[in-house]
Amino acid sequence: MNFSLEHCCLCPRQCGRNRAAGEKGVCGVAGTQVLLGRAALHFWEEPCISGTRGSGAVFFAGCPLHCVYCQNEELSRARVGRAVTQQRLTEIFLELQAQGAHNINLVTPTHYLLQLIPALRAAKEQGLTVPVVYNTGGYERPEALALLRGLVDVYLPDFKYPDREGALRYSAAPDYPQVAAEAIRCMAEQTGPPVFDAQGLLLRGTIIRHLVLPDRTAETMRLLDELHDTYGDGVILSLMSQYTPMPACPCEELRRPVPPEQYERLVRYARRIGISRAYVQQGEAASAGFIPAFDGTGV
């Protein structure tokens, strides 16, 4: 399938905007350059991603999803971000590797695929050897993911909602459950089962993240069942307790943190149904202090 910025259909929204001519897509981004909020070593991913030296996180501006509880709203709405060329993007990847990054972590890159793919190829030709991580909200088109075969080593998708109601209310994407399920199937097929190095760092594989939201225990249990039935130990699950209420969230039920007993109940449930390859969060993970500054560092 041929993709272009003149009639953009990179994400499942398929808005058709002429981004090349300056029209903003549903992602909030116009033009042919890439907007970045930050490119730096990042230590707050799963241990097999962050390691001891940090993940080389490149935070892209804009997002196709528009979740009402987004912790990175300024960046996801493309209200911040510095424009870089494709050549500069290649340089950033190589600079992060030189700083000791265990991997290159592409955070919300979906709507920049046409600039990202040649930048990655150029970086690999110029000596990029660390794994490439594709860090996404899970709202992806299989046709676009196919373009990344051989370029991405680790997929790090969210699976936010197993139900249409939650997806519609919180992300205005009622098709999200079906879209994410198919996208993640394609990711897991590309990477195969997890492969680690001697230090426990993930070299290849798929980690499926699920952010636990307040009072949605039944929905999360259903998702855990579906993921375990589908993949078994062929993927890694990351069950996240770090939900941080945002003051501007329009949904009253999301203006409070996840009760610890809700999260613990879900952890026990995951163990009970046989999920063994998983990350859980302990202690105080829900904090705005873990949100990095999107001030152009490293850009």
Q: What angle do CA 203, 146, 37 make, to 5 degrees?
A: 65
Among 39-53, 76-90, 243-257, the range scoring the smallest mean pLDDT is: 243-257
Q: How far apart are CA 214 and CA 286, in angstroms?
A: 12
Q: How confident is the model at residue 290 (pLDDT cuts 50, 70, 90)?
A: low
Q: What angle do CA 237, 242, 247 make, to 5 degrees?
A: 140
Backbone CA torsion sign across 48, 139, 173, 69: positive
Q: What is the mean pLDDT of residues 115-124?
A: 98
Paired residues of 134 in beta bridges: 106, 155
Q: Which domains occur in the chain, in start order?
A: 31-290 (3.20.20.70)
Q: How confident is the model at residue 283 (pLDDT cuts 50, 70, 90)?
A: low
Task: Give pLDDT tens digits for 139-151.
Answer: 999 999 999 999 9
DSSP for 103-149, written as a single string: SEEEES-GGGHHHHHHHHHHHHHTT--S-EEEEE-S---HHHHGGGT
Burial 201-226 (b: 16+ CB within 10 A, else e): bbbbbbbbbbbbbbebbebbbebbee
Q: How far apart are CA 81 and CA 59, in angstroms?
A: 9
Q: pLDDT averaged over the chain?
A: 95
Q: How confident is the model at residue 291 (pLDDT cuts 50, 70, 90)?
A: confident
Which residue, among 237, 149, 235, 146, has the nearest Cα to 183 in the 3D structure?
146
Residues 6+ apart with CB under 8 A from 136: 108, 109, 110, 155, 156, 157, 158
Q: How confident is the model at residue 100 (pLDDT cuts 50, 70, 90)?
A: very high
pLDDT score of 27 more than 90 = yes
Which residue, among 124, 112, 117, 134, has the nearest Cα to 33 in the 3D structure?
112
Which residue, among 170, 179, 97, has the nearest Cα to 130 in the 3D structure?
97
Q: How confident is the model at residue 1 (pLDDT cuts 50, 70, 90)?
A: confident
The answer to whether the CB of 210 falls within 8 A of the CB of 159 is yes
Q: DSSP state, 286? A: -
Task: Give pLDDT tens digits for 193-238.
Answer: 999 999 999 999 999 999 999 999 999 999 999 999 999 999 999 9
* Assigned token pair, 125: 């030709």
Secondary structure (H, E, C), 10-72: CCCCCCCCCHHHCCCCCCCCCCCCEEEEEEEEECCCCHHHHCCCCEEEEEECCCCCCCCCCCC
Q: What is the mean pLDDT of residues 126-155?
A: 98
